[in-house]
Structure 1
Amino acid sequence: MHPPQFRTRARALRARGDNIRSIARALSLPYTTVWHWCVDRPEPAVVGTAARCFRCSPTVENQTDPAAYAYLLGLYLGDGHLVTSDRVPVLRIYCSDSWPHLIEACESAMRAVLANKVQRIQKRGCVAVQSTGKHWPCLFPQHGPGKKHQRPIVLADWQREIVTAHPGHFLRGLFHSDGSRFTNRVTVRGREYVYPRYMFSNRSTDIMSLCQWALDLLGIPWRMNLPWSLSVARREAVAALDRHVGPKS
């Protein structure tokens, strides 16, 4: 009896276009066994978002854009909400009307990660960019009842691997949702200084820690000016963050 993962791997290779003989050789399995799995009794067709969920379907694991997922994860932790009480889960991210390009970027990320269809629901002062799909909970296990700052927010190991590989995209999502880049003006001994500055605000200590961690991964210095507010103000630090985030638009 072969482990189930052998059958899954064989069918994934077959879906990729490999022939039965090469699959059998690669997995050190009898030709007839692989033929039975892939030809005599092939994997049932997968439809809907199940066909695109990289957590459930190994055949799409290498087809999903991990950078887009890191960005979408940042947006979700900032201004996102996953509704699981409906018949089909709904991922909803709120984007201000002031930033039309952010709305476009959010929709593009949803489509790149899982969504077959994305809706834009106009609200007062913002747009709810949303997509229904049974497999959104697979990709955002942080969902749960109540506000995010009132419950633990911990990344799964596989999420940490993605963020470690793409910290800039993750930070871009965080700052595009709960952050800002603006011109700071201070007067010291009668002389005015003008310089750009990034701010990130979030009441969740867990999400704030994730932001700090991602900045550390990029070697970008930061400081806390309030328990829920982080600042990036050094010239070289702002320049570094500009390469990954940039101003909203």
Structure 2
Amino acid sequence: MDQHNPSIRDEALALLRGGTTNRAVAELLNVPRGTIGWWLYQDRKRRGVQYEQPTDCPLCTGRGFDRVAYAYLLGLYLGDGHIISKPKQHHLSIFCGDTWPGLIDAAESAMHKVMPLPRTGRRQKDGCVEIKSYTKHWTCLFPQHGPGKKHERPIVLTSWQQEIVDAHPWDFVRGLIHSDVCRNMNWTTRMVGGVRKRYEYPRYWFTNVSDDIRQLYTDTLDKLGIEWKHCTRAGRKYNISVARRASVALMDAHVGPKY
């Protein structure tokens, strides 16, 4: 690291202090990235500068952000997401079935729209893909994060989150549906002219163990004029059904099929 001309080192530090990335400086000056990182570390240490990871967190910086994308991402997080927050590991993970590549792209796109700076990645798991975005600031945007499973702790929206959901309810519902809902064909039988006939109809079926998350879902459906009902299966009351023709049509128009 010491074989480089001091003038090259001074030029690199000037660029770094001006905000140029390590990678860009390394490529510009033809110096290994490890060397650039070491020079930067030594420079900060000598000047007594405490390094802070750059962030574009809306709550920490006060910048505007894509609230439509956030409403959708909030629904995904409450359904199939979690945050890992450890001293050296911070990331938001959303899990999507690998049979729905469009949803995988939509989830990653929403992360970028809400906070463009953090890097993202994908990891194939058994039957699903984990989409990850790396920054500890996701805990700022999702204060529902905490120890244990979601259904074992209260899930309550903050006032600013509720304002976003109220302004973009369909996007919030779409996120919940893309994580915890299936649209299937239900059936029943009816007597028609003295003959019992099978009758099929579409239904949106939402399942979540958390009472609070189900309440957020049904409260939003109420505001949208969607008729729903609780359905108990095998003694479990974790299911919300939307089966009325007009309500299903509304859901189809504003949510659309998984893809």
> Structure 1 length as normaliser, TM-score?
0.77
Name which of 33, 54, 57 aligns with 2:58. Answer: 54
- CA displacement 1:132-177 (0-9 Å, x = unmatched): 0121111000001111111110111100000000110000000110
Q: What displacement does 1:88 show?
A: 4.1
- Matched with 1:193 is 199
Distance in structure 1 (CA, Å) of the matches to 2:198 and 2:59: 53
Name which of 219, 229, 232 aligns with 2:239. Answer: 229
The root-mean-square deviation of aligned C-alpha atoms, in Å, is 1.4
- Alignment CA distance shift 1:92-1:115 (3 Å): farther
- Matched with 1:173 is 175
Name which of 234, 240, 243 aligns with 2:253. Answer: 243
Letter in 2 for 1:136: W
Distance in structure 2 (CA, Å) of the matches to 1:103 and 1:86: 28
Letter in 2 for 1:57: T
Distance in structure 2 (CA, Å) of the matches to 1:76 and 1:132: 15
Q: What displacement does 1:210 show?
A: 0.2
Distance in structure 2 (CA, Å) of the matches to 1:203 and 1:78: 10
Q: What displacement does 1:243 show?
A: 2.1
Equivalent residues in 2 for 1:32-111, closer than 5 Å: 48=54, 50=55, 52-58=56-62, 60-61=63-64, 64-111=65-112
- Alignment CA distance shift 1:145-1:47 (3 Å): closer
- Matched with 2:41 is none
Distance in structure 1 (CA, Å) of the matches to 2:123 and 2:239: 30
- Matched with 1:208 is 214
CA contact (8 A) 1:172 1:245 kept: yes
Distance in structure 2 (CA, Å) of the matches to 1:243 and 1:153: 29
Distance in structure 2 (CA, Å) of the matches to 1:154 and 1:214: 14
State the SS of the aligned residue for 1:91: strand
Letter in 2 for 1:83: I
Letter in 2 for 1:144: G
Distance in structure 1 (CA, Å) of the matches to 2:172 and 2:230: 19
- Matched with 1:12 is none
- CA displacement 1:118-144 (0-9 Å, x = unmatched): 100010111000010121111000001
- Matched with 2:185 is 183
- Matched with 2:33 is none
State the SS of the aligned residue for 1:214: helix
The percent of aligned pairs where both chains have the same amino acid is 53
State the SS of the aligned residue for 1:239: helix
> Structure 2 length as normaliser, TM-score?
0.74
Letter in 1 for 2:204: Y
Q: What displacement does 1:185 show?
A: 2.1
CA contact (8 A) 1:180 1:247 kept: no
- Matched with 1:128 is 130
Q: What displacement does 1:47 show?
A: 6.5
Distance in structure 1 (CA, Å) of the matches to 2:159 and 2:219: 15
- Alignment CA distance shift 1:185-1:75 (3 Å): same
Distance in structure 1 (CA, Å) of the matches to 2:201 and 2:157: 34
Shift >6 Å, 4+ stretches: none
- CA displacement 1:102-133 (0-9 Å, x = unmatched): 10110000000114321000101110000101
**Structure 2 unaligned spans of 5+:** 1-51
Which structure has greater strand proportion? 2
